């Protein structure tokens, strides 16, 4: 079949006839308006939900129709298209279906969708479908494959690299996190005879030298479909790698919202020391919950050699760490060592190699006054029963003194950033269910705009007085471990059952923690289990368009330097998967906070129906409230008011621009045409419903996602 390229210009008369619009709706300008919104039709399965989650995270508007919901909206010509000011309008720029035809035989809804897609050149994504001739493929059996791809590696084809998946280097590895659980299922086959089908992602067919298609484009009877023949959920790496390309294919690279890949790492307690885990006591002497009166704290502190190693590592990885520092750590060390502090001397000499964040002067707990006579601790109270709080003056002094110390040492600071010790001052459940009321006042005293918070406790950004929180992901590389054996011992204590000698914490909290089947080997457990797991969790955040920083502690850069294998796994793993035009972004805390705040405002505007966007030919119009930061992804060469728009990323340009009270008018480059299917053969007869597809339990219940152990 002949393949053609054309812009989305269809005669008004043809549209009127195809869609059953009233006579007289033709407009002098025959170019239709295409609203920048995606229609997602879900059957409740994980694959359509994954695509919807990708759109939501990027800030790309979509309408969801749940086929399992009684009383749902019926899809017909009037729902899909109408006219605005006499111009034909397509209300959706793309359609996502659970498979190539999720409707009953003879469905009027499928017929309406097919007519709509044909009339307006609207692409359709088959989120997970059976390989069959109706989808442009041969049946998988015999000759192909139907089964698991756990641990296998697919590849982006040359056409995929030249098309929607050009941001990838080529490899698409499939996860295999638990050999006892099926985590994938796929149908591998070749294009059907005579089909206009272009494979974009392929995998070897087991037992053969040939490859079968996992993702490809099928052009037929005036329509285009992206056919996906493997199942996935929103967390799996194979989907996360391909999600951007699926969205770019369905939108033609023209859509609201943007997605990038981020990784920032905060190292807490720099200049200070962290108390070591005691493998005999199963606690950390010096901590409030380690009540043995004879226990002596054993400090872990970086050395000058550790600083040199960190600098060399950063240069090798082209990556910058954020050091959250406590000036009192150096002052105290000098007092105890006749004025000497080799670590501080080296850090200050090489201060320009790192970014720096105020972490308070002496790292005290800044919430309620802690009553440590009980385990766990509780908030101390006055005689009238009211909570005793750390005072405004104490909090302010900790912030200001550390700032003065940092400036005296020449640290390149941004004075509006702060991370309190243990994120204290903000609420800590269950003991302290509210913020210290003095915290907001002290933040105001010191002009703090960005306050670090613990994402495991508070994943949503919020205001604390004048400051906005920046949720940080805790990495499961423990603050009280400088050696791999210590990390494994504490890990076994937390993540094994009481019957196996552990604390039973994992048994008591099954919703958030998964117990290990057996304790890890102290000699091999860190490299064999903890490093791969923590790498996968962190890389999952990176691939999810999530800019939130991760945090570790200075102890993890000392002694065995146990943080580096995890960080290497994330950075090296990323660079092995992505092309050079899709770099890993490494923003500092205040920039992350601003990004999260813009996103929150944008999402609120979308939910409130305050944003309207559409495309007419090469003109894109976005109408949004005055002052709202608008985000979009558009082809390279797009202009706004005559100036180049956005920054280059993953083969497109994207960014934020403020609405000004009048609609924003973007001009796409002349090359931004819409590829259309060859319709010389006329419409094909209606096809029957797609066969049911297999969804293993490990896909609907993502293995290891919710567990940090």
- If one counts the domains in the chain, the total is 3
Residue 490 lies in a domain: no
Three-state DSSP state, 69: coil
Q: Looking at the structure, do residues 205 and 167 belong to the same domain, yes or no?
A: yes
- Place 12 in a pLDDT band, splitting at 50, 70 and 90: very low
Say if residue 560 is exposed, middle or buried (CB neighbours under 10 Å; 0-12, 13-18, 19+): middle
The last residue of a domain, from among 568, 589, 610: 589
More confident residue, 8 or 497: 497
Same structural domain for residues 171 and 34? yes
181-219 pLDDT tens trace: 999 999 999 999 999 999 999 999 999 999 999 999 999
35 within domain boundaries:
yes
| pLDDT of the residue at 680 | 52
Residue spans of alpha helices (H) in 296-436:
304-317, 327-336, 342-349, 392-408
Question: Cα(243)–Cα(248) distance, rounded to whole angstroms?
Answer: 9
CA proximity to 325, closest of 273, 391, 389, 256: 273
What is the reported pLDDT for 671? Answer: 85
Residues 409 and 270 in one domain: yes
Residues 287 and 407 in one domain: yes
Distance CA 363, CA 235 (A): 36
Q: Are residues 193 and 156 in the same domain?
A: yes
Q: Report whether 422 contacts 596 (CB < 8 A).
A: no
The reply to whether 623 and 577 lie within a common domain is: no
Q: Residue 323 has what pLDDT?
A: 98
Which letter does DSSP use for residue 650 in this model? T
pLDDT for res 288: 83
Note down the domain range covering 619: 590-667
**Same structural domain for residues 656 and 679?**
no
Query: What CATH number does residue 234 fall under?
Result: 3.40.50.880
pLDDT digits (tens, 9 = 90+) for 134-171: 999 999 999 999 999 999 999 999 999 999 999 999 99
| Residue 598 shares a structural domain with residue 690 | no
Q: Are 97 and 66 contacting, i.e. CB atoms less than 8 angstroms apart?
A: no
Q: Could you give the angle at which helices 563-577 and 304-317 cross, rounded to 10 degrees? A: 10
pLDDT of residue 685: 61
Q: Which residue has the tokens 């043809």?
A: 14
Sign (positive or negative) of CA dihedral 607, 610, 615, 619: negative
- Are 195 and 319 contained in the same domain? no
Same domain for 165 and 291, yes or no, is no
| pLDDT, the chain, mean | 93
Decide if pLDDT at 17 tops 90: no
Is the residue at 528 inside a domain? Answer: no
pLDDT tens string 227-239: 999 999 999 999 9
Q: What is the pLDDT of residue 511?
A: 85
Q: What is the dihedral of CA 420, 426, 430, 432, to 10 degrees?
A: 100
* Same domain (yes/no): 219, 338: no
Q: What is the pLDDT of residues 565-611, one digit of tens each?
A: 999 999 999 999 999 999 999 999 999 999 999 999 999 999 999 99
- What is the SS3 assignment for 647? strand
What's the token pair of residue 327? 């000036």
The pLDDT confidence band at residue 293, using thresholds 50, 70 and 90, is: confident
Residue 435 burial by Cβ neighbours in a 10 Å radius (0-12, 13-18, 19+): middle
Using pLDDT thresholds of 50, 70 and 90, give the confidence band for residue 128: very high
For tokens 């905060």, what's the residue? 266
Task: Tell me the percentage of the chain whose pLDDT exceeds 90.
Answer: 88
pLDDT at 701 over 80: no
CATH number at 557 reads 3.20.20
**In 196-268, which residue ranges form alpha helices assigned H by DSSP?**
237-251
DSSP 344-356: HHHHHHTGGGSEE
| Angle formed by the axes of helices 327-336 and 342-349, nearest 10° | 140
Same domain, 627 and 651: yes
């Amino acid at each position: 079949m002949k393949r053609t390229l054309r812009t989305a210009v269809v005669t008004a008369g043809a549209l009127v006839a195809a869609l059953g619009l009233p006579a007289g709706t033709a407009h002098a300008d025959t170019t239709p308006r295409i609203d920048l919104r995606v229609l997602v039709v879900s059957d409740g399965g994980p694959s359509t939900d994954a695509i919807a989650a990708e759109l939501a995270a990027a800030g790309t508007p979509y309408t969801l129709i749940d086929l399992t919901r009684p009383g749902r909206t019926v899809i017909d010509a009037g729902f899909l298209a109408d006219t605005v000011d006499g111009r034909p309008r397509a209300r959706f720029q793309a359609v996502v279906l659970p498979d190539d035809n999720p409707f009953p035989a003879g469905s009027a809804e499928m017929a309406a969708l097919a007519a709509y897609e044909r009339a307006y050149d609207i692409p359709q994504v088959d989120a997970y479908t059976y390989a069959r001739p109706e989808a442009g493929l041969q049946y998988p059996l015999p000759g192909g494959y139907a089964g698991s791809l756990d641990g296998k590696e697919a590849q982006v084809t040359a056409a995929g690299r030249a098309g929607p998946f050009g941001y990838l280097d080529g490899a698409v590895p499939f996860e295999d996190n638990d050999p006892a659980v099926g985590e994938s299922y796929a149908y591998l086959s070749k294009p059907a005879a005579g089909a206009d089908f272009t494979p974009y992602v392929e995998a070897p067919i087991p037992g053969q030298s040939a490859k079968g298609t996992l993702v490809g484009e099928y052009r037929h009877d005036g329509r285009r479909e992206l056919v996906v023949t493997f199942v996935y959920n929103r967390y799996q790496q194979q989907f996360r790698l391909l999600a951007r390309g699926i969205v770019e294919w369905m939108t033609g690279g023209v859509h609201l919202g943007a997605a990038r890949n981020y990784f920032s790492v905060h190292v807490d307690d720099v200049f200070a020391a962290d108390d070591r885990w005691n493998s005999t006591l199963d606690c950390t002497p010096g901590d409030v919950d380690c009540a043995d009166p004879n226990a002596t704290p054993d400090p872990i502190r970086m050395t000058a050699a550790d600083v040199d190693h960190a600098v060399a590592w950063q240069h090798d990885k082209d990556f910058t760490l954020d050091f959250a520092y406590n000036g009192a750590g150096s002052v105290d060390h000098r007092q105890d060592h006749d004025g000497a502090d080799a670590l501080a001397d080296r850090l200050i000499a090489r201060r320009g190699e790192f970014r720096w964040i105020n972490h308070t002067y002496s790292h005290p707990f800044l919430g309620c006054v802690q009553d440590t006579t009980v385990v766990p601790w509780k908030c101390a109270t006055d005689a009238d029963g009211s909570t005793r709080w750390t005072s405004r003056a104490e909090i302010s002094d900790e912030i200001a003194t550390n700032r003065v110390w940092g400036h005296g040492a020449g640290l390149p600071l941004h004075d509006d950033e702060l991370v309190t010790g243990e994120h204290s001052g903000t609420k800590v459940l269950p003991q302290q269910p509210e913020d210290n009321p003095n915290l907001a006042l002290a933040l105001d005293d010191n002009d703090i705009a960005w306050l670090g918070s613990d994402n495991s406790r508070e994943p949503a950004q919020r205001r604390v007085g004048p400051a906005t929180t920046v949720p940080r992901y805790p990495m499961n590389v423990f603050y009280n471990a400088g050696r791999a054996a210590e990390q494994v011992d504490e890990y076994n204590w937390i993540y094994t059952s009481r019957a196996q000698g552990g604390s039973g914490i994992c048994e008591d909290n099954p919703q958030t923690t998964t117990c290990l089947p057996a304790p890890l080997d102290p000699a091999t457990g860190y490299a064999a289990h903890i490093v791969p797991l923590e790498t996968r969790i962190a890389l999952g955040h990176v691939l999810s368009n999530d800019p939130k920083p991760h945090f570790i502690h200075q102890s993890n850069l000392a002694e065995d330097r146990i943080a580096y294998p995890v960080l290497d796994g994330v950075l090296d793993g990323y660079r092995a998967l992505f092309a050079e035009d899709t770099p890993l972004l490494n923003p500092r805390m205040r920039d992350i906070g601003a990004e999260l705040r813009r996103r929150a405002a944008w999402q609120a505007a979308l939910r409130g129906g305050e944003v309207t966007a559409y495309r007419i030919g090469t003109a894109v119009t976005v109408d949004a409230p005055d002052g709202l930061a608008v985000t979009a992804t558009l082809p390279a060469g797009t202009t706004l008011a005559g100036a180049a728009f956005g920054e280059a990323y993953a083969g497109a340009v994207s960014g934020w621009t403020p609405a000004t009270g009048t609609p924003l008018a973007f001009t796409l480059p002349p090359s931004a045409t819409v590829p259309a299917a060859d319709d010389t053969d006329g419409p094909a007869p209606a096809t029957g419903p797609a066969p049911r597809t297999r969804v293993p339990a490990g896909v609907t219940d993502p293995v290891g996602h919710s567990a940090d152990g």
